Amino acid sequence: MANIAKIKRGARAWRTGHVAELCARLWLQMKGYTILRRNWRTPVGEVDILAARRDVLVIVEVKYRPRIADGAEAISPRQQQRLQRAMAYAAAAYPPYSTLRIDVMLLAPWRWPHHIHHAWEGTA
């Protein structure tokens, strides 16, 4: 019985994350970003959203939590390092962009998305 509950909980979390990423992509598009990749699997880890606006290449990490503040706290130092490595990989894969950036999109029920620009400075 416990395994079935765990499977259902995992499926619900996947579905919630999928919807949150869809909302984040729509929000970014409304703000003028072009979505280049979603759920991009790189050798250094998965990138939720790879977007561009003008000459800026942006990796967007999406977090959905019951409260916006909980989402910001959910990004560990290890995950920050993974995003930095993904930024270096993205810079090599998409060379025409002169500026690189890592953003975080925080989502919570019944709240507008909270887009944090320059969550960590990416250098590649």
Burial per residue of 19-51, b for 16 or more beta-carbon CB atoms within 10 angstroms, e otherwise: ebbeebbebbeeeebeebbbebebebeebbbbb
Q: Report the candidate in 116, 112, 61 with the shortest Cα–Cα distance to residue 90.
A: 61
- Whose tokens are 């909302």? That residue is 23
Provide the pLDDT for residue 124.
Answer: 44
Give the integer Cα–Cα distance in Å for 1 and 88. 44
Provide the pLDDT for residue 15.
Answer: 75
Domains of the chain (ranges; CATH) run: 2-120 (3.40.1350.10)
Counting as low any pLDDT under 50, the low residues of the chain are 122-124
